[in-house]
Chain A
């Protein structure tokens, strides 16, 4: 396969008001995020000729939430367009597909969007993800908690490791004014005192549900040099989607798609895990972070307990993870949370949470970004550099 190393870049990011933002449609967040990403990149409306959108969960089957409507509302005339749904892995997969599209001249600039009024609207997040509603299996939490219990049994996963992931994310959120939990610190005691929701998961093992949207723009490396902001190059990429549903899956305790897609991404980028300065990991649940980092080879299964310490993952640590607070403590945007944070960090625009001297961490040259969907059924890896 042709190497895509450094051939495409991300040149714009768009944010919206986030958290609890009542009175807004999901589509309005797509529109605003896309608009802001186009402005951030310094592009004229007429230059954007590609569009990928991840439809909000509650809108699946809603004919009014479609990419052509989004293009229409943004005044775009495009030659590359699709609704794109690989569940929580969509953001990373979109970046990859957009990269292929621009390199092969299907489009010059592809805007990729997500938006949902998931907190204030008619959310589907409490619905059964893979069936099982007749057994009281509500939400994605059912499948992930079943996976996590298997992880406890097979290799000693559990709250001892998960508390480190949750507390570190909160410490980063405390530096991010846009984060849901910006003003609320979390101690280990707070973690253990948070109530059991679906045992083995406590409240603080579980991501937020948020209103808002995010967008980013992909173009070729050559075009990227003429954009307003510093480009963030896609060094490496990979995808691995086992697709198997939770009961039949053999990966509930890993290895998940992080392993195969991570190896591909390392190979393309020509780097090893030692070159990674920070990780932005899809964190629907704390356990997902443990499985993903194990898949990327940072530690062997069961050694997360020793490797993942909050003082390492948190500000000031030597292995920064989820530097916005992530989906556990900032906001949940189907993984756009992780990808946009990596871009902002690599550009040096992260304010008080900026990697490098500000937070006494390594200067960020290379950041690894994961996306994961279904019940560990889809996975995308990106290695980004400035």
Chain B
């Protein structure tokens, strides 16, 4: 069965992020100048403008910072998914990212809950970092 949902828009800048995701690694740019981990991808560190970065591997542990529940399918491929959860995840290492929280009752999600990363291999080329409600903090 083919995957009908919109795929991430992969460009010259964010290609490494998605290449690591395909290898089931969540990596973000860590500034070699000041240590700040930035997201989304950018050429320079927004704190110190250093150009030097390394793609640091994140633990995938975090907490729900905010979340919403889609009750409307804006795209036909989401018809069978509603209600589904979109969340901002506060990652343990500092940055926050948007993703889905899956495999739970929507009403069980609360701000502050611990979550754990997994990768959803939606196509042969693309794996999406997603989250499930986790144990402990």
Contact = CB atoms under 8 A, between A and B. Distances in A.
Interface of A: 126, 131-139, 142, 145-147, 149-150, 153, 195-201, 245-248, 252
Contact of B96 (A133, A195, A201, A248): A248
Given A132-B98, A252-B66, A195 B7 contact: no
Contact of B111 (A136, A138, A150, A246): A150
Contacts of A198: 68-72
A202 to B, nearest CB: 10
Nearest to A247: B96
Contacts of A252: 66
Given A149-B111, A150-B65, A133 B9 contact: yes
Nearest to A142: B86
Of the listed residues A131, A132, A139, A247, the one surrounded by the most CB atoms of chain B closer than 10 A to its CB is A247
Interface string B55-90: 000000000011111111011001001011011100
A67 B75 CA distance: 33
Given A245-B40, A248-B39, A248-B96, A136 B84 contact: yes
Given A149-B66, A199-B71, A247-B39, A136 B88 contact: no
A126 B78 CA distance: 14
A133 B86 CA distance: 11
A153 B66 contact: yes
Interface in B93-114: 95-100, 111
Given A147-B66, A248-B39, A134 B95 contact: no
Given A134-B7, A136-B5, A198-B70, 14 more contacts: A131-B8, A132-B98, A134-B128, A135-B100, A136-B81, A136-B86, A138-B70, A139-B74, A145-B68, A146-B67, A149-B66, A199-B70, A201-B68, A247-B95
Contacts of B6: 133-134
A136 B78 contact: yes
Contacts of A138: 70, 74-75
Of the listed residues B78, B83, B98, B130, the one surrounded by the most CB atoms of chain A closer than 10 A to its CB is B98
Contacts of A146: 66-68, 86-88, 98
Nearest to B89: A247
A196 B75 contact: no
Interface of B: 5-9, 39-40, 65-72, 74-75, 78, 81, 83-84, 86-88, 95-100, 111, 126, 128, 130
Contacts of A153: 66, 111
Contacts of B126: 134
A354 B99 CA distance: 46
A187 to B, nearest CB: 22
A364 to B, nearest CB: 37
A138 B8 CA distance: 13
Nearest to A125: B74
Contact of B98 (A135, A147, A201): A135
B74 A134 contact: no
Contacts of B66: 146-147, 149-150, 153, 252
A145 B5 CA distance: 21
Given A133-B6, A134-B7, A135-B100, A149 B75 contact: no
Contact of B72 (A132, A137, A149, A197): A197
Nearest to B69: A199
Contact of A135 (B74, B96, B128): B128
Given A153-B111, A246-B98, A131 B81 contact: no
Contacts of A147: 66
Nearest 6 pairs of A and B residues by beta carbon: A138-B74, A199-B69, A145-B68, A247-B96, A134-B8, A150-B66
Of the listed residues B40, B66, B75, the one surrounded by the most CB atoms of chain A closer than 10 A to its CB is B66
A248 B94 CA distance: 10
16 contacts: A126-B74, A131-B8, A131-B40, A131-B98, A136-B78, A138-B74, A139-B74, A142-B86, A146-B98, A147-B66, A149-B68, A150-B65, A153-B66, A245-B40, A247-B97, A247-B98
A281 B95 CA distance: 32
A247 B128 CA distance: 17
A21 to B, nearest CB: 23
A197 B98 contact: no
A51 B76 CA distance: 41
Nearest to B126: A134
Contacts of B69: 196, 198-199
A195 B8 CA distance: 29
